[in-house]
Structure 1
């Protein structure tokens, strides 16, 4: 991918992460408001979880763009999975361990449902498993999205074993079948209900955007602005009308997300400058931002309340704190670990017999 379009994608990743953080920071400050008797109300024109939908569309886009000419090539599927594991697993395991330690140290102060050994193992293995309350959230609650990501990586790796047309056909058919079956099975068959959630279709939407990009489909700046505007308008409409309660996530989240993603990816490249470079760096750190912001805001909010900061100031300072914390984690933890593991992977490939 040309470097200028990498910047576009990374900026969008940062914006998607900010949407999620925006909501979670607001929830934490609302909790502090109730505890202290102060006034603070989070603004909800749309479901801020739209950031997750954008992440999934981007994920489908990136996977297909990077691997579109590697279908059926021996060793590609294994290498693809190894690189994805190196990217996803280390920081997630670190944050999951921190959450487990927090629950063990101060369980009564943390929203959790007790300690179940099977649930703990499933959390580390990226497998959905019900908590005591029946909800399919891992120890680190926002890790539910990573369960979908890892599932997509696995199915995509299987598709890479085959010629492109056959592999993509089976990928689409498998996801479509899962979504249909999930509608038919009872809630007790929760694995199929989880894996068949219509949100998995957003990965396919990302593949569609990548196919358009590879065919050199490009749109003008006015069209990009129109698509973003329509995407946001639909997101607001779906949320304000309560459509999330009866329409599938593929519609309420997927359609706005794919419109916004297509607008950014197929539109004009971001101008080169300090702002774009900073936003792109934020995109590099978006995974760290997504995983670490719950820890950062809880600590910062507790300190801010004790220091007597007004809640609205605490909210915006908390947003800045989560971004600063994620950049530190990305540069000093995530990036060095990823580089070390990548060197080991490359060294192993170099030693492998031809």
Structure 2
């Protein structure tokens, strides 16, 4: 989940920032519901299900947005010396430190209070793979890292690596290379046995959502826009499609590129290509939420768990724990963003910015095409 601001020549796509907040909110909503169900099970209480759609749609929207952001920021730097190295430097500075902090916090939590955490078995290989963004089976056999939400970042890092390779080439060639590599991954995942789990993971159809975002960015940069009426229809259609696909259990036998990608691109395209949000207090608040969406994504499991414990101690009703946990997650993530993520990112950017021209890694490798 990249937390890069979408700035270019002083331009800020506020619609995308607002959508990033709502995408993260969908994920928080789903996990808040799961946490309250855990509290209910421990206290013999009951809490109704909210099975309208797969709230993980927020992840699909994030992947489309990620493809949009990367191409939007880098579309004019394909084939330029140093562009791939600079791209990777900035992505790593933005993604890795905060993820490592919360991964370490999860590791400490497992060591200190493993009984409160699901799938708390530890394996040194799994720990190393978690920090390295490499899929590796945990104790229950699932391909989730220590901080289970990090599975999405394993896909993000794959996308960044492929995108950096594409930046070595002229833009048309680079785009084709990305398409071919992703197609090969998906085809390979369908052909290999389950034991080849790295390819099974990275070849999931969900990676195609990054390409949908790149296509959307190309339309945006060409000046393509949608009227408000079409925006409303597209958002409604995207949500209706997500609900229908979930209700017929399509997720069990249809690639996520369809079940999640189609609703996500409908909603994202509508928001990005629609009229820009008016400048005002509400817009600025939601834009701040978008800025803090990466912090919200990583920190909310901890906020929900802590608030759940506090809520039980205070005797709060389950709906109160549900709503309060969501509010606490948003507040905590804003604090993490403003007090940790933002200053840490600025400091690391200054420290890692090359003082001399970046060596062209592509040319060194003999694959730079101009």
With normalisation by structure 1, the TM-score equals 0.97
CA spacing shift, 1:264–1:3, aligned 2, 3 Å = farther
Moved over 6 A (4+): 351-354
Offset of residue 184 of structure 1: 1.3
Offset of residue 108 of structure 1: 2.1
Offset of residue 349 of structure 1: 2.9
Matched residue, 2:127: 120
- Give me the CA root mean square deviation: 1.5
* Residue pair 1:113, 1:133 contacting (<8 A) in 2 also: no
- CA offsets per residue over residues 289-331 of structure 1, 9 Å max, x none? 0000000010011001110011101111111100000000000
Match of 2:46 among 27, 30, 39: 39
Offset of residue 244 of structure 1: 0.4
The CA distance in 2 between the partners of 1:258 and 1:123, in whole Å, is 29
* Residue pair 1:5, 1:269 contacting (<8 A) in 2 also: no
Matched residue, 1:209: 216
Offset of residue 5 of structure 1: 5.6
Matched residue, 2:316: 309
1:53 aligns with 2:26: no
Matched residue, 1:96: 103
What aligned pairs does 1:8-19 form with structure 2 within 5 A after superposition? 8-19=15-26
The CA distance in 2 between the partners of 1:90 and 1:256, in whole Å, is 31
Offset of residue 57 of structure 1: 0.1
Higher helix share: 1
* Residue pair 1:288, 1:330 contacting (<8 A) in 2 also: yes
* Residue pair 2:81, 2:359 contacting (<8 A) in 1 also: no
Offset of residue 44 of structure 1: 1.6
Matched residue, 2:355: 349
Kindly tell me the number of residue pairs found equivalent between the two proteins.
Answer: 353
Structure 2: give runs of 5+ residues left out of the alignment.
Answer: 1-7, 361-370
1:107 aligns with 2:119: no
- CA offsets per residue over residues 228-259 of structure 1, 9 Å max, x none? 00000000000000000010000000000001
Match of 2:72 among 48, 65, 68: 65
Offset of residue 93 of structure 1: 0.1
Offset of residue 25 of structure 1: 0.5
- CA offsets per residue over residues 179-208 of structure 1, 9 Å max, x none? 111111111111110010000000000001
1:160 aligns with 2:167: yes
Matched residue, 1:190: 197
Offset of residue 42 of structure 1: 3.1
- CA offsets per residue over residues 163-194 of structure 1, 9 Å max, x none? 11111101011101111111111111111100
